[in-house]
Chain A
């Protein structure tokens, strides 16, 4: 964290008043990367994206350049869709990027579309982000007025339309194929893959789908050159990452860091650690769908794609949710399970039923009706969801819940016992003891 100009690309001077207008963005050198890209030729831009090793910031971490290179060549309608349906609990980085610097995203979309020869682009933004959608719509209108979007952009052969499309409140639409269905005007149900969107996506045409933050990085890659951009970060996790830290920390918010810095520096350094007098118990390293890491195992890991995967979790969207020692793990599990049960689209049985039954079992724990055997059953339900559905929504619940059961089994058991006692059900008295007590009672006699 020595050179803030290199570690703060996306958030640099983000609070400058009026940065969301074209005038201020251009004054700061905006759209110069677009001019540079248009002068480079499509293949060279794609080559730069490949070389930068930019990995998707939306969750999967797939290389953006590689994904872009999967699109077939040739003249046909191709689509670029920006996934701005940020609905993962704990994620709010795209919101800040779109609200305060919309032109950075638009420039990234135009360059990304140029590299892949896409002629139509869409920003699918979640319906709740009304302020951000208004700002984006105005920014797109500004860009259109000066010819950054439209036919023959800046005298080149690049033609692009850009539409801001608002969703209407469905977490599942953040899944790329469900997003495409929703954009086509259907219910947001995931599709079977393959075919992958690169071959058959929106309106059955080749489609590149990328997250907001991924596309926001594109102008910087062109501006700095792939090598210059990739100087920051680790060899397999290049660049910077906007990390959303929330939950039990003193300073929740978005922080941009070089990938690979110690997780402790983010949670305890930047976000201030747990509130006074409390200790960090565990955290979700990549949104509520990532398996939890305990403070002991997770805080000293480098924060990058590979280290998180190796620890059995994932970087995901880069959203850290911190839970301190005052919160029972069962409560967290219940919140997570309820969310995914509510948001399951209902298409695949393991997800629809598995999420619902997990909620019911967790509620049984609270009413004291559960037995330690329920933990076994709950763990097996999670195992039966993972990998058995069209999309990963079910997995998104099964992975964190499964990891909580493994790592906090004792607490689950204690919680069950306490709930039984609290609800007057008491621990079942073992048979042998009952006999002995009955005998003893007869001997002492009633007073």
Chain B
């Protein structure tokens, strides 16, 4: 697929340039990329192999590996997909089928920062639709901020809320949209006083003491665990798929 700009569907009538690029019926399906001709950055290869060792079946590592590639390249580019496929010994088509199924994988180059505004029911009951429009307007001039309306992010107690580069903030006013853009541009932590990590439980009877409202956040994410304690071999049951072909 064309990795460049996103072409709106139907914008050119039915003749969207490149719409039939991938449909070359005479072409063989892409095989597992040849490791010798698919250079993979050493750090990325090590990370993917670390994930593969965590599971009884290496294919379970496809989601973490695509995340790793996405962190490395910014999005799941065709090159990134090829590299994951080469290390994991799966077809690029299989990796693409995963990357296109899950919402958090970007199959087009996105802006540098992600702002997911929850527009699901609990948030919209508290004004999320207006917040989303305010957020889009505030980020309009910032090419590198990617504002998306998102399904329930599981923080209805902060409604309306948003996830800014993975950090949950809320409850938000429409005027917070500008502040979020400013914080993101300045590289500051986003709306610190409204971050989920600092929020106390709502139930007044839960705490026996008046604890200060802070939550320790891990400084660093631990590296992928070393292998599981038992040898990573298939215990029983036949493989769910053959070596290179996805199941079914």
Contact = CB atoms under 8 A, between A and B. Distances in A.
B154 to A, nearest CB: 5
Interface residues of B, number: 71
Interface stretch (A43-51, A52-60, A106-114, A185-193): A185-193
B216 A203 contact: no
A213 to B, nearest CB: 13
Contacts of B197: 99, 131
Interface stretch (A32-40, A63-71, A215-223, A240-248): A240-248
B104 A168 contact: yes
Interface in B174-203: 196-197, 200-203
Interface stretch (B20-28, B41-49, B55-63): B55-63
B225 A144 contact: yes
B238 A204 contact: yes
Given A8-B205, A89-B152, A251-B202, A141 B215 contact: no
Contact of A205 (B62, B156, B235): B235
A95 B154 contact: yes
A270 B203 contact: yes
Contacts of B125: 246-248, 321, 323, 327, 332
Nearest to B227: A161
Interface string A16-30: 111011000000000
B238 A165 contact: no
Interface stretch (B30-38, B135-143, B206-214): B206-214
Given A244-B156, A321-B122, A343 B221 contact: no
Given A87-B154, A120-B228, A204-B240, A255 B120 contact: no
A330 to B, nearest CB: 13
A11 B216 contact: no
Contacts of A91: 152, 154, 156
B121 A90 contact: yes
Given A166-B63, A332-B121, A76 B236 contact: yes
Nearest to A89: B152
A186 B98 contact: yes
Contacts of B212: 17
B21 to A, nearest CB: 23
A90 B156 contact: yes
Contacts of A385: none
A332 B126 CA distance: 12
Contact of A256 (B124, B126, B206, B214): B206
Given A185-B57, A335-B124, A163 B228 contact: yes
A134 B221 contact: yes
Nearest to B234: A203
Given A12-B206, A248-B126, A168 B230 contact: no
A90 B152 contact: yes
Contact of A89 (B64, B156, B215): B156
Interface residues of A, number: 91
B66 interface: yes
A4 interface: yes
Contacts of A306: none
Interface string A265-308: 00000110000000000000000100000000000000000000
Interface string B234-248: 111110100000110
A352 interface: no
A91 B98 CA distance: 26
Contact of A186 (B54, B151, B205, B247): B247
A109 to B, nearest CB: 14
A219 to B, nearest CB: 17
Given A89-B120, A171-B151, A252 B167 contact: no
14 contacts: A7-B205, A11-B206, A89-B120, A99-B215, A127-B104, A128-B104, A128-B153, A131-B167, A135-B217, A137-B221, A165-B63, A169-B105, A203-B56, A203-B237
Given A131-B217, A184-B60, A270-B202, 15 more contacts: A15-B207, A77-B236, A92-B155, A134-B217, A161-B228, A168-B66, A168-B103, A169-B104, A203-B235, A204-B236, A247-B159, A248-B125, A327-B125, A335-B124, A339-B121
- Report the 8 A-B pairs with minimum CB-CB distance, sorted nearest first: A253-B202, A77-B235, A204-B237, A169-B103, A246-B156, A168-B102, A161-B228, A185-B59
